[in-house]
Amino acid sequence: MKNLAFLFLAFTVFAFACKDKDDDTTSNPLPIAATDYFPLTQGSYWIYQWYKIDSQGNAEIWASYLDSIYVSGDSIINGITYAKVEGTYIKTPITYFYRDSSGFLVDENGGAPLFSTTLETEVLGVDTFSTEVAPLFWREYKMAANTSNVTVPAGTFDDCLQSILYLTSLEPDYEHGVRTYPLEYAKGVGLVRQRTSFYHSPDYLEGRLMRYNIE
**66-84 residue pLDDT tens:** 999 999 999 999 999 999 9
Percent pLDDT > 70 in the chain is: 83
Confidence category of residue 100, pLDDT binned at 50, 70, 90: very high
Mean pLDDT of the chain: 83
d(C-alpha 127, C-alpha 113), whole Å: 14
Q: Which pLDDT does position 23 carry in this prediction?
A: 45
Say if residue 50's pLDDT is above 50.
yes
pLDDT of 24 above 80 = no
Tell me what the mean pLDDT of segment 174-182 comes to: 90
pTM assigned to the model = 0.83
Q: How far apart are CA 113 and CA 105, in angstroms?
A: 5
Please name the fold of domain 2-10+35-213.
YmcC-like fold (2.40.360)
Is residue 198's pLDDT more than 80? yes
pLDDT at 115: 86
At 153, give phi and psi (nearest 5°): -55, -30
Q: Is the pLDDT of residue 187 over 70?
A: yes
- From the list 189, 117, 195, the residue with the least C-alpha distance to 155 is 189
* Burial grade of 154 (CB within 10 A; 0-12, 13-18, 19 or more): buried
Q: Is the pLDDT of residue 6 over 50?
A: no
Q: How confident is the model at residue 184 (pLDDT cuts 50, 70, 90)?
A: very high
The span from the CA of 140 to the CA of 128, in Å, is: 9
pLDDT tens for each residue of 115-167: 888 877 677 878 777 776 667 888 888 898 888 999 999 999 999 999 998 98
Mean pLDDT highest for which of 38-52, 110-124, 157-171? Answer: 38-52
Residue 113's pLDDT band (cuts 50, 70, 90): confident
